[in-house]
A and B are shown apart, each in its own frame.
Chain A
Amino acid sequence: MATEARRIVIEPVTRVEGHGKVTILLDEQGRVSQARLHIVEFRGFERFIQGRPFWELPVAVQRLCGICPVSHHLCAAKAVDRIVGGEQLTPTAEKMRRLMHYGQFFQSHALHFFHLASPDLLFGFGSDVGQRHVLGVAAKHPELAKQGILMRKYGQEIIKATAGKKVHGTGAIPGGINKNLSLAERDALLADLPQMREWALAAVKIAREYTLAHLELLGGFGSFPSNHVTLVRKDGAMDLYDGELRAVDAEGRVIFDHVDPQRYLDYIAEDVRPWSYMKFPFIRSLGPDRGWYRVGPLSRVSACDFIDTPLAETERQEFKKLSGGKPSAVTMAYHWARMIELLHSIEKIDQLLHDGDLQGTELVVKGQRRGEAVAIVEAPRGTLFHHYRVDQNDQVTMANLIVSTTSNNEPMNRAVEGVARQFLDGQEITEGLLNHIEVAIRAYDPCLSCATHALGKMPLVAELVDAGGTVVHRRERA
């Protein structure tokens, strides 16, 4: 396919001074014409890893993120498996990696729900800014706050037992894994498992009851029908670690299904826009205007045929009833879907910890060397693509990464725009409007990935820009 080189000039208004920036553009009549979310996300990383030996990739790519490095670790490892011809892992290696992955989901989803989303759900979107954060939850609901900390800690212990370290581990290696799970490690994790399952069930209940009780509000809050992309197993089950690509439309009709990850470029393309460093992926057959899609918990729970663990499957069926069997259009339903996956993860952890293959000793395989590989995993925030080419000297010559936040770029912009249209009153970004915008963004929990977090950077800046390009109001989250 011929490609045309395009020089992308980023307008000064997109300069991100905090971790994120929202620009609300007004038309001549002072109405919202467009809203744009700018996030300091990864750019240049693909260049950074070019020239490195491919076997370093599973460790090197973790530089992208301190929250979900396991997703990058495992996705790169799966790609490197193909490069060394070792994609058919031993049972011990695959199950150790899956245990690592479910531990990652468990800690990440718990962190999101208890410490990012719960202030909105417990106190309301318009509540006092002085309590609308993790410390407010700790003060008013100390048991919930502590559960969140201990659930995250449990997931981190699983990661440590499988990857060697809680952050930036080294467990997955080309063609396998570098350790099995000792009986002592298994027994320590089993001891806390019943408590974790109980807390996960309680968390799903909170999310479900909140969603059902506020359907009228949430149905109009940054919500819209969309396409969805996810991995599924060959039999259509949810599979977070491996599988084939599926895309469905807003009615649940299949756009493509059972696509081999190696062929993702035949189905997914990336658009660029002059006002953003982030790309805008889309389903190639539908084009950039109609082909944008969502990924993550909402898409996975909506688009899979079933979940292969009983408690989570019961919840999935309840979830699907809400939208008449179609994919959910409710952005805030991400939280309920996320908790269904939290429950699924602890059920999977339970199954794996009782599987004797984790104590096996056949850890690594090798096969026919390849020069190119694609791998896809479902990361906590959505589908993650890694694509590499390597040369005869084993050096990386090309890398293309599509992270979940990039796939959710268009949906996040639409959610922010919808909220701005609904809640902007006059020519001022009020505290209430800023928080409603944040509520919509929090549903997706965008990955700031390799973004820097230095002192002096604000979490979020919002600007109101009139039709002439003048900033008429600005509010910062200090």
Chain B
Amino acid sequence: MTARALVYGYGNPGRLDDGLGPALVRELAARGLGAEADLETAYQLQVEDAALVGGHELVIFADAAAAGPEPFELRPLEPRGRPEFSTHSLAPGAVLALAREHFGGPAQAFVLGLRGYEFDDYGERLSPGARRNLAAAADHVCRLLCDGRLAAEAQAGPGGEAHVRP
């Protein structure tokens, strides 16, 4: 297992703000964060992602959020399964659980929900609000990863949780 962190952004870049996760990863790469963490994107999570995720010490799952705090919310992720009716969707908690069960990691995992607003059309663009939220989230993740503060915040957060809502 590598001690490096992984930022895993997923979503459909062809469906407007649903592409916020991959857009975050592209932004982090453009800012040179690839030296600090592994950066990966996917259309949607799948079972074999457990192998990728399990090979890292710390993982941030970055996805668009259809509801919730603006501009983003960063919180610890718990392993959890739920019934699905289609193979076209898998929750990050399920990937985390499979990773720990079969691949020995990661020790810490977070989910970063970037608030989006427009999901119901096609187009490879982000709404103005989503672009603002993306910039704020990228600033925050850069600071945390560059300073090595993410793990510390997870430990020090209220009630042992790290709900970061700038």
Contact = CB atoms under 8 A, between A and B. Distances in A.
A202 B53 CA distance: 28
A139 B80 CA distance: 12
A152 B97 contact: no
A19 B86 contact: yes
Interface in B27-80: 42-44, 46-48, 50-51, 63-68, 79-80
Given A115-B47, A454-B66, A456-B67, A135 B94 contact: yes
A233 B68 CA distance: 52
Contact of B12 (A20, A44, A63, A119): A63
A438 B67 CA distance: 25
A369 B101 CA distance: 54
A108 B79 CA distance: 24
Contact of B83 (A63, A133, A149, A156): A133
Contacts of A455: 63-66, 68, 111, 113
Given A67-B88, A129-B83, A149-B102, A138 B68 contact: no
Contacts of A119: 83
Interface stretch (A87-95, A220-228, A443-451, A463-471): A443-451
A280 B50 CA distance: 37
B76 to A, nearest CB: 14
Interface in A424-478: 435, 438, 441-442, 445-457, 459-460, 477-478
Interface in A126-175: 129, 132-136, 138-139, 142, 145-146, 148-149, 152-153, 156, 167-168
A69 B42 CA distance: 13
B122 A111 contact: no
A239 B119 CA distance: 37
A44 B102 contact: no
A116 B87 contact: yes
A341 to B, nearest CB: 15
A116 B86 CA distance: 7
B81 interface: yes
Categorize the interface residue count of chain B.
35 or more
B142 to A, nearest CB: 21
Contact of A453 (B18, B85, B121): B18
Contacts of B98: 134-135, 138, 145, 149
Nearest to A439: B85
- Of B14, B64, B81, B119, the most chain A CB neighbours within 10 A belong to B81
Contacts of B83: 119, 129, 132-133, 435, 438, 459, 477
A135 B99 CA distance: 11
A456 B68 contact: yes
Interface residues of A, number: 56
Interface in A289-325: none
Contacts of A47: 122
Contacts of A69: 43
A168 B51 CA distance: 20
A354 B162 CA distance: 54
A456 B69 CA distance: 11
A112 interface: yes
B66 to A, nearest CB: 4
Given A111-B46, A153-B51, A455-B68, A66 B12 contact: yes
Contacts of A256: none
Contacts of A153: 48, 51
Contacts of B66: 452, 454-457
A184 to B, nearest CB: 22
A40 B63 CA distance: 18
Contacts of A477: 82-83, 85
Contacts of B64: 452, 454-455
A73 B65 CA distance: 29
B81 A454 contact: no
B87 A450 contact: no
A442 B85 contact: yes
A108 B15 CA distance: 23
Nearest to B96: A135
Contacts of B81: 133-136
B43 A168 contact: yes
Contacts of B94: 133-135
Nearest to A451: B88
A66 B18 CA distance: 13
B9 interface: no
Given A112-B87, A138-B97, A142-B101, A48 B122 contact: yes
Interface in A78-120: 108, 111-112, 115-116, 119
A149 B99 CA distance: 11
Interface of A: 19-20, 44-45, 47-48, 63, 65-67, 69, 108, 111-112, 115-116, 119, 129, 132-136, 138-139, 142, 145-146, 148-149, 152-153, 156, 167-168, 435, 438, 441-442, 445-457, 459-460, 477-478
Q: Lowest 10 A-B CB distances belong to which pairs?
A: A66-B43, A135-B81, A63-B14, A48-B122, A452-B18, A448-B88, A133-B81, A454-B66, A454-B64, A456-B67
13 contacts: A66-B46, A69-B43, A112-B87, A129-B83, A133-B83, A134-B47, A134-B90, A135-B80, A135-B81, A438-B83, A455-B111, A456-B68, A457-B66
Given A134-B47, A135-B81, A452-B11, 14 more contacts: A66-B43, A67-B46, A132-B83, A142-B102, A149-B50, A452-B15, A452-B18, A453-B88, A454-B63, A454-B66, A455-B68, A456-B66, A477-B82, A477-B85
